[in-house]
Amino acid sequence: ANSLKEWLGKDVSRTLNQEESVARGCALQGAMLSPAFRVRDFSINEVYNYPINISWANQAGDGEAVSMETDEAADSAATAAPAGGSKPGGSEIFSRFNSMPCTKMLTLYRNSTFQLAASYPEDAPTPAGTVSKISDFTISGLPLGAKPGDAPPPADAPKYKCKVKVRLDANGILVVESAQAIEEKEVEFWEDAPAAPA
């Protein structure tokens, strides 16, 4: 209780137990859904207590600026947003007290298999003894059409636009939901010659 008091900056109430909290919440939610009662709407927003960094190994000559799109808790349409603390090789993708669930899309340019590493920043206010590393994710399948055992492409090979969807789910678990590579090709079209006059 003392630790909670120091963290919250106010006394912790002891007048409501867990069962009563659940019962009161259910009653209020039921009243909001019922046409027979009029109560003030309320919502609960879940947040993640610590920031999360995503880092990647830059390829030679990268120096890329990574773009990021975010799809917040309501799963609305993704909107472009700068990556917090963005820098070549890593970014704070989820800030402290980030709402969850939350999905963010990273855009990288790669021509071979690469890894993403998730970790807590060094200055994150995590409990003592917390391991900073969260997980490593391997994104494979590049270059497109390559078969297992093929030699890696040269460093100057064309790069694919890779979109990696990272999600902090409702339970606070970080997952890579999907990754896709986009190949752009220029296709020339010729108009049919006009028909000869009859």
Query: Which three-class secondary structure string do you get for the chain?
Result: CHHHHHHHCCCCCCCCCHHHHHHHHHHHHHHHHCCCCCCCCCCCCCEECCCEEEEECCCCCCCCCCEEEEECCCCCCCEEECCEEEECCEEEEECCCEECCEEEEEEEEECCCEEEEEECCCCCCCCCCCCCEEEEEEECCCCCCCCCCCCCCCCCCCCEEEEEEEEECCCCCEEEEEEEEECCCCCCCCCCCCCCCC
pLDDT of residue 32: 86
For the cut 70, the answer to whether the pLDDT of residue 154 exceeds it is yes
pLDDT tens digits for 21-41? Answer: 889 888 988 998 899 988 887
pLDDT tens digits for 102-118? Answer: 999 998 888 888 889 99
pLDDT of residue 182: 86
pLDDT of residue 63: 43
Average pLDDT, the chain: 79
Of the pLDDT bands very low, low, confident and very high (cuts 50, 70, 90), residue 65 is very low
Give the residue, 113 or 80, on which the prediction is more confident: 113
